[in-house]
């Protein structure tokens, strides 16, 4: 498996196209807010977009998962909460637009992302999970990685629900020892990366887990980062 930092306009366009496809296939009940589309695209322009591929020869349009990440110096956090002004803006990242077209691929994206986070000296990771009717299906995985709620449920300016109203989201954050532990464990999936830190080769530690009845139910029923590490060793 290979995680790539997407640098060309065509790669980034494919990322957005596949993001919309994933939302449609998973029956997601939210979409980009048309009134704030320009601001959202500015955010994405300031973001690092990462795409996951089956192998090193895979073409851009075969991308199977992806995620966006920007530090708060490059672009402010999407919502006013939580207050992270006590941390250096370039050491805090917001992760968003996490999508997958293949079971387990979304988790591999996070495993690959652990290495650039370590190289960049990231001290806190912020995310906004859908709340209410659009509750995030991956909330259990974020909890597994050490994310905790960071303030009340708030409306997200860049995303709207099926009624055209701003989507309610729960801010979550991981920092400190929890972040260090997560990065340490997940980065073990990376076997090597390029000198310019644009390409990351990953062990597919998801396949053994997928042989079980359900990856999501497994994660929600007690899998730990340490046990994931053991599965990687067995793969």
Residues with Cβ within 8 Å of 129's Cβ and at least 6 positions away in sequence, in order, are 135, 136, 138, 139, 142, 169, 170, 172
CATH number at residue 137: 3.40.630.30
In total, how many domains does the chain have? 1
235 assigned to some structural domain: no
Report residue 128 CA to chain centroid gap.
10
From first to last of its 235 residues, the chain has per-residue pLDDT tens of: 999 999 999 999 999 999 989 988 876 666 777 667 788 899 999 999 999 999 999 999 999 999 999 999 999 999 999 999 999 999 999 999 999 999 889 889 999 999 999 999 999 999 999 886 545 556 677 888 899 999 999 999 988 887 878 889 999 999 999 999 999 999 999 999 999 999 999 987 665 444 443 444 444 444 444 444 444 333 3
118 assigned to some structural domain: yes
Segments forming the whole domain that contains residue 120: 2-78+86-230
Strand partners for 2: 53, 201
163 assigned to some structural domain: yes
29 assigned to some structural domain: yes
167 assigned to some structural domain: yes
């Amino acid at each position: 498996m290979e995680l790539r930092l997407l640098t060309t306009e065509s790669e980034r366009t494919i990322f957005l196209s596949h993001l919309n496809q994933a939302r449609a296939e998973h029956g997601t009940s939210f979409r980009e807010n048309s009134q704030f589309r320009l601001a959202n695209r500015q955010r994405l322009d300031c973001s690092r977009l990462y795409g996951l591929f089956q192998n090193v020869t895979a073409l851009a349009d075969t991308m199977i998962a992806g995620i966006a990440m920007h530090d708060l110096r490059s672009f402010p956090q999407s919502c006013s909460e939580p207050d992270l002004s006590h941390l250096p803006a370039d050491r805090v990242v917001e992760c968003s637009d996490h999508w997958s077209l293949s079971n387990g691929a979304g988790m591999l994206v996070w495993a690959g992302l652990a290495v650039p986070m370590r190289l960049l000296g990231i001290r806190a990771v912020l995310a906004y999970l859908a709340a209410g009717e659009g509750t995030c299906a991956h909330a259990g995985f974020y909890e597994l990685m050490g994310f905790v709620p960071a303030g009340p449920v708030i409306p997200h300016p860049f995303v709207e629900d099926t009624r055209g109203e701003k989507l309610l989201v729960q801010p979550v954050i991981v920092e400190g020892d929890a972040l260090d532990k997560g990065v340490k464990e997940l980065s073990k999936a990376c076997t090597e990366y390029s000198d310019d830190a644009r390409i990351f080769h990953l062990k597919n530690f998801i396949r053994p887990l997928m042989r079980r009845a359900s990856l999501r139910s497994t994660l929600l029923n007690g899998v730990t980062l340490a046990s994931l590490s053991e599965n990687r060793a067995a793969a």
